[in-house]
A and B are shown apart, each in its own frame.
Chain A
Amino acid sequence: MDRHRVSGSAIGLIGLMLWLATPAAGQDLASFERRTTEHKVANGWTFLIVERPGAPVFSFCTLADVGSAQEVTGITGLAHMFEHMAFKGTPNLGTRDWPGEQKALAAVEAAYQAWQSERMGKHPDPRKLESLLADFKAKQKEAAGFVVHDAFDDVLTREGGVGMNASTGADDTNFFYSLPSNKLELFAYLESERFFHPVFREFYEERDVVQEERRMSTESSGFGRLVEQFTIASFAAHPYQHPGIGYVSDLQSFTTTDAEAFFKTYYAPSNLVTVIVGNVHAAEVIPLLDKYFGRIPARPAPPPLRTVEPPQVAEKIVVLEDPAQPLYLEAYHKPANTDPDQPVYDAIDDILTGGRTSRLYRSLVRDKKIAVQTSSFSNFPGIKYPNLFAVFAVPAFGVPDEKVQAAIRDEIERMKREDVTAEELARFKARARARFLRLVRTNVVLAQRLADAQRLYGDWREMFRRLDRLDQVTPADIRRVANQMFQPANRTVAMIVNQAATASAKPSEKKP
């Protein structure tokens, strides 16, 4: 590696000496461990509190150990649907008259079920369908009269909450926002309230919103269409194959009753972790947690997922003829992230595509100029169960996918054949450490990382141990794991082919 040399000036040397005289002030990561308090409420809900000086604010995230992997066909998209419903309020929040609304909601559900069973029956009667649908819409309208729209968000926003959002993945569902630190009790109230007794009001209106989300992210984007087809193809048995957003038919037929059953099963307090990070004191937070979250009765832990993805024995190739420009993706099965080799997969990921010194950037983007972007993921679509190592490339204008594929394969084969260099490995370790520091700058990201570790390993300290594990990776590990994983039969390829685009871009004979 080249040490950079700039013509040294006297001032520069003095500056450097001054610098060296000052002891390093930045705190190391261990100080986070010392500032973290763990607390379990009697019902089994785990809390972590990280005290962080600075502005009087805090962020939190609640991680529910349930994602689209807990769905079966018929209810795909339901984990995400519940995420939306967690903002719809409770008997105490969002209603003009709870007893009245409760009856109206029951009537909506009965009317929907009646329409749905006729619709899905063997011989639906169009006239009957029409009147059942009209009845359902009338009941919906009646129920809407009781609703104080968006009351949950309203309280939160009025009191200065920001960044309120949630996301649903294959593994988990994540709820988060930030508040000024004097509003801790509001957080404890709202967050316990919505998981204590959520009310699924406006369920069918919100189901329409979710369908718009599907149209936006999956149906109206070439990339979205490709990823959906790729995911479905790559798993034969495991529910990781289902698109998290859900299939259209399921989004048009799952019910409030389905959602309530899903909630009861998977939102048991022992299945939830909440991490609070900010200018707060654990001693003041804990009594509030016991007081508000303690209201929720314990429930049995949800059943484990039985299906294990069988070894893949045949290469799968998905070719999507699409109006969008070509995109290329290939992926290989690998173990869950709790596997001791995970740091090795992370090293392969970074050495292949991490930044400008990576192998694919240098080969495909810089030298051959056949791609404009390359990236990889050492855990798609989740981390909890055996998942995929995926390589993604955006071909340069007019370059067919095959050319990109060949160049990727060259680099993959080289990784199987030769040890990575000491410099490459050192760069990976240096980059990982620095990237980690940059990530934990933000309260909400730190909260999410700790919650992830707590959920995956049952111990948040694993988040800090990860860096030490990365440091242990050797060139021999990388060759061993590359040879295990990068096998044709273990692979799924997915690409967008756009004949018109590649043909029109053929180098013309004319010189400019």
Chain B
Amino acid sequence: MSLARPARFLILLSCALGLPAAASAQAVHADDLRYPPLPKFEIPRPERVVLDNGLVVMLLEDHELPLVEVTAVIRAGGRLDPADKIGLAKLGAQVLRNGGSETLPGDQLDDWLDGRGAVIEANADGDVARAVLSSLTRDFPDSLRVFADVLRRPAFDAGKLEVARNQAIGFLSRQNDESEEVLFREFRKLVYGADSPYARTETYATLGAIRRDDLVAWHRQAFHPDRMVLGLVGDFRTGDALALLRAAFGDWPRGPQGALPEATWKQQASPGVYWAEKKDVTQSNIVLGHLGVRKDDPDYYALEILNNVLSGAFSSRLISHLRSQKGLAYTVFGQVGSDWDHPGMTLLFVATKTQTTGAAIQALLDDARAVQTTQPPTEEEVAKARQSLLNSFIFNADTPRRVMSQQLSLEVYGYPLDWLSRYRAGLEAVTPAQVREAAVRHLHPDDFSILVVGTSEGRDRPLTDFGKVTMVDMTMPARPARK
């Protein structure tokens, strides 16, 4: 007994002083634990160099493994596709890669890369085209030259266009096979407007209309050194890599003067209830929402906290209510969405059995309304969300590749490169009142588009309980004849 007392005193003392508990003390409850401060860590900042021709290059050395990765981001996304050739950027990026260059045609390029365990891939989403090279250190000088050659002088081989087109048509024919794909495709149309550059989708006709000349024109318009950003991460010395970059890209002339073409659009939201009928499912895929914000919105940090309150951890509102407590869903989440240079999508999503479709819609609507009215985010919720985001902050920069990926986005979309430290300060400054106001400003349950993909057989409530129902037409147009 006499021995126990001093020991207990010591532990109490160390807690009172905020010191880590003695190593011998074994915690019974998580709250008994005390943590040492996180070791100081400088987030690595890539070296940023602008070549004479305007090419912005970012370099970040990482010598752990004998690998180098190069990412090129070009503002040549699908939102610039002509209306009758939707799918152009996507096919363009594929044929840029698969067709190889004038000096190293596609099939030979494939052999060359695979023989070295190197990879070049290219793709385009709505906003940008991306090309990535991954190479072993020892092949990097050669690989970089090949990469530059493909980006600057793609062959756009007509045969490879037919391969890519055939693949795109094959996947298009399957576009109604998976519920989630149907859900988000159709929801984008409701949020942005069916013809908007952020929602329109390719058809057999638009894919069929794309000619080799269109790919050449797409490349000629967008691929210029002063309209591209390159990021290098890996096992190189910055000075050496710069010399290689200058050799590979330095004599590439600047693009034409003038502003980049921009996608134009006018929001055409479609509030109401929509049903895409899919009979071969036992679940309803459900989404509710409307247009969101850009990442430079003044409420952005408050919204990050709000999103965390809605569906950050398992104990967040939506996950706890619909999944843990009601067992209604395996997947559920909700957020005020944000994007870099156009508004993102604000949405609440759940997949639930057909028999609880109505219950799940009601639960999401109730939570969306409550967070604005009867149950605004509490001080405790806000504190917890902030603590979670700040304690996990290091994971925004835990690997050199993650740092680079973020830096590339900041550079491409013209955001300050110290965005991450602003983000941290922003989160620290948010007050509960700001979170409440942001919820009122950015969530509009009365303007929700509610979309359900599934079958009506066995539903607990008619969808008309939630408003007038419009059927979504998912009919596939006839496919043009095979040549």
Contact = CB atoms under 8 A, between A and B. Distances in A.
B394 interface: yes
A484 interface: no
A57 B395 contact: yes
Interface stretch (B133-141, B338-346, B440-448): B133-141
A413 to B, nearest CB: 23
Interface stretch (A215-223, A301-309, A378-386, A450-458): A215-223
A209 B35 contact: no
B35 A157 contact: no
Contact of B64 (A9, A26, A221, A365): A26
Interface stretch (A115-123, A180-188, A330-338): A180-188
Contact of A441 (B112, B237, B250, B399): B399
Contact of B320 (A150, A292, A438): A150
A158 B391 contact: yes
B38 A507 contact: no
Interface string B172-195: 111001110000000000000000
Interface string B31-42: 001011111010
Contacts of A15: 141, 240, 243-244, 246-247
Interface string B381-401: 000100110111111011101
Contacts of B418: none
A433 B134 CA distance: 13
Contacts of B421: none
B458 interface: no
A55 B397 contact: yes
Interface centre among A53, A207, A371, A505 (most CB of B within 10 A): A505
Contact of A206 (B240, B327, B391): B327
Given A6-B149, A221-B178, A434-B118, A18 B481 contact: no
Contacts of B213: none
Interface string B282-299: 110000000000000000
Given A12-B247, A322-B280, A182 B36 contact: yes
Given A11-B243, A160-B388, A160-B391, A357 B111 contact: yes
Pick from B67, B114, B134 the residue with the most CB of A within 10 Å. B114
A459 to B, nearest CB: 23
B343 to A, nearest CB: 27
A395 interface: yes
Interface string A409-448: 0000000000000010011001111110110111000000
Given A18-B240, A22-B237, A160-B391, A149 B353 contact: no
Contact of B392 (A54, A180, A324, A434): A180
A219 B481 contact: no
Interface residues of B, number: 109
B387 A325 contact: no
Contact of A1 (B98, B111, B327): B111
A210 B329 CA distance: 8
B225 to A, nearest CB: 15
Contact of A426 (B67, B115, B140, B171): B115
A2 B104 contact: yes
Contact of A356 (B114, B320, B388): B114
B323 interface: yes
A22 B238 CA distance: 11
A169 to B, nearest CB: 18
Contacts, number: 315
Contact of A397 (B38, B138, B173, B234): B173
> Which one of B66, B138, B331, B352 has the highest number of Cβ atoms from chain A below 10 Å of its Cβ?
B66
Contacts of B28: 92
Contact of A372 (B65, B166, B177, B327): B166
Nearest to B391: A160
A366 interface: yes
Contacts of B419: none
Given A398-B482, A508-B481, A219 B243 contact: no
Given A57-B394, A189-B27, A431 B479 contact: no
A287 B169 CA distance: 59
Contacts of B30: 92-93, 155, 186, 189-190
Contacts of A403: none
Interface in A153-189: 153-162, 178, 180-183, 185-186, 189
B23 interface: yes
A124 interface: no
B453 to A, nearest CB: 10
A219 B246 CA distance: 55
A19 B146 CA distance: 16
B262 interface: no
Interface stretch (B1-9, B122-130, B310-318, B407-415): B310-318
A430 B26 contact: no
B33 A4 contact: no
B208 interface: yes
A188 B253 CA distance: 57
B331 A216 contact: yes
Contact of B67 (A219, A398, A437): A437
B167 to A, nearest CB: 4
A372 B315 contact: no
B281 interface: yes
Interface-central residue, A18, A210, A219, A373, by most chain B CB under 10 Å: A18
B246 A4 contact: no
Contact of B330 (A2, A210, A504): A210
Nearest to B395: A162
A212 B142 contact: no
Contacts of B35: 159, 182-183, 185-186
B379 to A, nearest CB: 15
B103 interface: yes
B328 A220 contact: no
A372 B391 contact: no
A31 to B, nearest CB: 9
B221 interface: no
A510 interface: yes
Contacts of A435: 117
Interface string A262-283: 0000000000000000010000
Given A6-B149, A92-B28, A441 B401 contact: yes
Contacts of B392: 157, 160-162, 180
Contacts of B169: 396-397
Contacts of B244: 12, 15-16, 19
B327 A181 contact: no
A160 B283 CA distance: 34
A5 B115 contact: no
B44 to A, nearest CB: 9
Given A56-B41, A426-B115, A434 B136 contact: yes
Contact of B250 (A11, A207, A211): A11
A91 to B, nearest CB: 10
A27 B114 contact: no
B465 interface: no
Contacts of B401: 441
Given A19-B244, A27-B66, A220-B281, A512 B137 contact: no
Contacts of B314: 87, 149-150, 153-154, 157
A469 interface: no
Contacts of B327: 205-209, 212
7 contacts: A2-B112, A220-B179, A223-B178, A291-B23, A369-B162, A398-B482, A509-B481
3 closest A-B pairs by CB: A434-B117, A160-B391, A26-B66
Given A52-B64, A160-B393, 4 more contacts: A4-B112, A25-B137, A54-B398, A434-B134
Interface of A: 1-2, 4-6, 9, 11-12, 14-16, 18-19, 22, 24-28, 52-57, 87, 92-93, 144, 149-151, 153-162, 178, 180-183, 185-186, 189-190, 202, 205-213, 215-216, 219-223, 279, 287, 291-292, 295, 322-325, 355-357, 365-366, 369, 371-373, 394-398, 423, 426-427, 430-435, 437-438, 440-442, 501, 504-505, 507-512
